[in-house]
Amino acid sequence: MPEYDSFCRQFSWENEKDSLEGLPGGGINIAHEAVDRHVNSGKGNTIAIRWIRKDRSFDDLTYADLKVQTSRFANVLEKLNVAKGESVFSLAGRIPSLYIAALGTLKAGAVFCPMFSVFGPEPAFQRLGKGKAKVLVTTTGLYEKKIKQLLDRLPLLQYILLTDAKQDIDDKVLSLSTLMKQASDDYVIKNTQQEDPALLHFTSGTTGMPKGALHVHQAVLTHYVTGKYVLDLRPGDVFWCTADPGWVTGTSYGIIAPLVNGVTNIVDEEEFDATRWYSILEEHYVNVWYTAPTAIRRLMRLDFKPTDRYDLSNLRLIHSVGEPLQADEVIWGEKTFGRPICDNWWQTETGGIMISNYATMEVRPGSMGKPLPGIEAAIGEVEAEAIRLLTKPGEPGHLLLKTGWPSMFRAYLDEEERYKKCFKGAWYITGDLAKKDADGYFWFVGRADDIIKTSGHMVGPFEVESTLMEHPAVAEAAIIGKPDPIIGALVKAFVVLDSGYEANEKTRLDIKGFSRKKLGPAVAPKEITFIDSLPKTKSGKILRRLLKARELGLPEGDTSTLE
């Protein structure tokens, strides 16, 4: 990205759209922009997806291969009478069929919904039911273990396509490879329009029951723009987003954004493993790496400097999303890789990155950065009648986005009222609280649901947790508000200790004293409990509501996304 301020002034979505091709009839289709467009313009031989198996051997799919495979998949759906707007789900690990199914579904004008393969039968049932799944792509093992038992309860689910079955099991449970072999390589992409539904993503369930956020084909413009200007994707780049497509990051940036930008996208079948990850960065010459704070924290705990063991000289840019990235984590990146880790903020609902640090802008450690060009973000109070914008630098309030960006969610499935409540006037209310400093940088305060009112103070978890983590004994921390008859709520901290520290009274007092000195007695935690690990979602977010429910002996609520 050129200089931020001047670029924002000249930016227009319309101009950016000119870089995309669109469909002959005036429509737009995500898969066309991500795959076929590149083949049509002579880039068919570029590697689109490099799939790394668990045993570290790998397979490449060029853009030309991907065009053929996704067209075949679209033809398979056609044969099964899947109509425009009907939904196709997946329950699979990070295997090529998942990526082919996602893009093939989009070609066919159907709606794709990826699920985490680790979901048990109940969470899978909830999502398949809510999303009215007509087709499910999965493996034989996952089908036997999790889906078979649900079939009676899912009358709308007509076909299950097994990626690894050699033969059909019955009329409903079919061999995907057989169908793919029979299908033609040619497919005329459905003439999807800007507002046609394309993707269904369930939120992480951090604050409650996961919500189904619906996105449209026009979202591809955000994927393109953020891939280009935030992730700085350039021709010839190798890009790796470590997220699973079951989480929105793993689809928007693990599938669409890199392909729309024509680069090589790394897909690793295996879960987090520090040395494996560094080896992948080295062996596959990764230029741009997109990961999450939980992974960064785990890497930080290793007792060696990665650049002493691995050649990471190709790595140009590192980004992080999902949870607040602490200042010391940004600085660790600088010391370790010679470049800060760039934090960015967005949600399932926004479909793409909305606020970010950029390679060409001064990174302020601990800040989420500045709005994407074309995005207007503000801080405000949500009042009964209207939004009141807060313009004084540093004043905390609701983080708001001006509506109308291409990847804005268009519905919460079956929850129209809830959807409507997210908007007031021209603003979308994100549900997060933040501050904006005098230079226009945004700073995360906490989720509106997690804010603690204690003795008349409003305490944001982020501030307290990051202070606790500055103490050498603290590896991770989460705070909750524990109801208290006198002060409203008491700030309670759950702390995971770093190795070498003992969970005893001395450590507790030490951390308490430290946080009192830094935060003042009103905000510092009054209670500290040591815990082996914090409950997190599968995408690495701390489930504070679960800590609170356990503390108060209340029902745990939805735990489908619990790691």
Which element (helix H / strand E) includes 385?
A: none
Site string for ligand ATP, 421-440 (x = CB under 6 A): ---------xxx--------
- Torsion angle (degrees, nearest 10) of CA 161, 163, 166, 169: -30
The residue range among 133-141, 146-154, 201-209, 217-225 that interacts with ligand ATP, by the rule CB under 6 A, is: 201-209
Beta strands in 242-328 (DSSP E): 264-268, 288-291, 317-320
CB of 450 to Mg ion, least distance (A): 11
Mapping DSSP to helix (H, G, I), strand (E, B) and coil, where does residue 101 land? helix
Q: Which range in 31-39, 87-95, 197-205, 283-291 contacts ligand ATP by CB under 6 A? A: 197-205
Does residue 348 interact with ligand ATP by CB under 6 A? Answer: yes
By three-state DSSP, how is residue 207 classified?
A: coil
Beta bridge partners of 548: none
Nearer Cβ to ligand ATP, position 289 or 444? 444
Residue numbers 439-478 binding ligand ATP by CB under 6 A = 444, 447
Q: CB under 6 A: which stretch of 58-66, 198-206, 252-260, 481-489 binds ligand ATP? A: 198-206
Is the separation of the CB atoms in 136 and 148 below 8 Å?
Answer: no
Contact pattern for ligand ATP over residues 372 through 411, marking x by CB under 6 A: ----------------------------------------
Q: Which tokens is 544 given? A: 């504070």
Binding site for Mg ion (CB under 5 A): 203
Nearer to ligand ATP, 163 or 206 (CB): 206
Q: Work out whether 364 is an interface residue with ligand ATP (CB under 6 A).
A: no
91 binds ligand ATP (CB under 6 A): no
Please check whether residue 169 is in contact with residue 159, taking contact to mean a CB–CB distance below 8 angstroms.
Answer: no
Query: How far, in Å, are 152, 401, 405, 461, 517 from residue 492 at the CA level?
Result: 45, 32, 39, 10, 17
Question: Judged by CB, which is closer to ligand ATP: 110, or 342?
Answer: 342
Shortest reach from residue 471's CB to ligand ATP, in Å: 21
Distance CA 257, CA 226 (A): 7
DSSP H stretches of helix in 386-504? 416-421, 461-470
DSSP-assigned beta bridge partners for residue 317: 288
Residue type, 39: V
Contact 406, 252 (CB under 8 A): no
Joined tokens for residue 122: 């109940």
Calculate the CA 471 to chain-centre distance: 29
Nearer to ligand ATP, 204 or 454 (CB): 204
Residues 48 and 24: their CA atoms lie apart, in Å, by 24
- 192, 251, 347, 467: which one binds ligand ATP (CB under 6 A): 347
Helix/strand/coil for 369: strand
Taking the complex as a whole, how short is the minimal distance between the CB of residue 195 and ligand ATP, in angstroms?
Answer: 22
Residue 368 binds ligand ATP, judged by CB under 6 A: yes
CA 294, 300, 301, 307 dihedral sign is: positive
Token output for 460? 């944001």
Instruction: Decide: is 203 part of the binding site for ligand ATP (CB under 6 A).
Output: yes
Q: Which of residues 315-344 bind ligand ATP (CB under 6 A)?
A: 321-325, 343-344
3-state secondary structure of 454: strand
- CA distances to 479, 507, 532 from 502, rounded to whole Å, are 20, 7, 12
Tokens of 292: 């999450």
Asked if 548 is part of the footprint of ligand ATP (rule: CB under 6 A), the reply reads no
Contacted by 447, from Mg ion, ligand ATP, none: CB < 5 to 8 Å by type = ligand ATP
Q: Which is nearer to ligand ATP, 211 or 223 (CB)?
A: 211
Of residues 203 and 261, the one with the C-beta less far from Mg ion:
203
Inter-residue contact 528 to 464 (CB < 8 Å): no
Q: Is the dihedral angle over the CA atoms 107, 108, 110, 113 positive or is it negative? A: negative
Size of the residue set binding ligand ATP (CB under 6 A)? 27
In the bound state with ligand ATP, the residue whose beta carbon lies nearer, of 39 and 342, is 342
Residue 261 interacting entry, from Mg ion, ligand ATP, none, C-beta within 5 to 8 Å by type: none
- Which of 208/393 has CB closer to ligand ATP? 208
Contact residues for 45 (Cβ-Cβ < 8 A; gap 6+): 62, 63, 64
- By beta-carbon proximity to Mg ion, the closer residue of 203 and 367 is 203
Instruction: Rank residues 204 and 222 by Cβ distance to ligand ATP and give the closer one.
Output: 204
Taking the least distance from each CB to ligand ATP, the nearer of 38 and 319 is 319
Binding test (CB under 6 A) with ligand ATP, winner from 62, 70, 71, 207: 207
Residue 33 interacting with ligand ATP (CB under 6 A)? no
User: Rule CB under 6 A: which residues touch ligand ATP?
Assistant: 203-208, 210-211, 248, 321-325, 343-345, 347-348, 368, 430-432, 444, 447, 539, 541
